[in-house]
Amino acid sequence: MNICVENVNPAFISKSAIIVGCSIATIGLFSLIACDNPTATANEKTPLTISAILANPARYTAQTVSFTGEYRGWEGGYGAPPVTRSDWIIKDNTGGMYVTGKAPDGFDPYASRGKEVTVTGKVLSKDSRLYIEATNVK
């Protein structure tokens, strides 16, 4: 089977190649953006970590995130609570940060330290310190 392309305008081929190339690049870019999801959870390929949030405040501030960590209650070492004295600490293997709002049902700020907790909420900033305003805690 022979295909003849003698009468094809070279400018058409160049325009077609550019359109195809741009389409492939656009699809690739959207694929990368979809994989770098700020709401990643521990069950996804790239789990969201506290250090990722703290290292990229501009990216995560005002974003809703969800991740699992260790409940640390009112543990010291993280400065003053950003919103209320009832704010509590969640910690993963990369760091810790305050959570304000909903506390885990039945958790004691001291006796429940070390229990696993999953937090969903919005990353906010006060006095250049990031914290999570919880909307759901399990």
Q: Do the domain assignments include residue 74?
A: yes
For the segment 21-39, the average pLDDT, to the nearest whole number, is: 45
Q: Are 110 and 71 in contact (CB under 8 A)?
A: no
Residues 76 and 118 in one domain: yes
For the segment 1-25, the average pLDDT, to the nearest whole number, is: 51
State yes or no: pLDDT of 41 exceeds 90.
no
The reported pLDDT for the residue numbered 15 is 59
Residues 12 and 66 in one domain: no
pTM: 0.67
Number of H helices, E strands in the chain: 3, 5
State yes or no: pLDDT of 24 exceeds 60.
no
Residues 32 and 97 in one domain: no
Q: Do the domain assignments include residue 41?
A: no
What is the residue-averaged pLDDT of the chain?
Answer: 80
Alpha helices, DSSP H, located in 1-138: 10-35, 50-55, 57-60
Full residue range of the structural domain in which residue 32 is found:
7-36
For the chain, how many structural domains are there in total?
A: 2
- For residue 127, give the CATH number of its domain: 2.40.50.200
For the segment 7-28, the average pLDDT, to the nearest whole number, is: 51
Q: List Cα–Cα distances, 99 to 32, 103, 119, in angstroms.
A: 29, 8, 8
Rounded Cα distance, 83 and 99, in Å: 9
State yes or no: pLDDT of 67 exceeds 50.
yes
Q: Do the domain assignments include residue 44?
A: no
Rounded Cα distance, 46 and 37, in Å: 9
Residues 25 and 59 in one domain: no
| Both tokens assigned to 27 | 């699809």
pLDDT tens, position by position, 88-131: 999 999 999 999 998 899 999 999 999 999 999 999 999 989 99
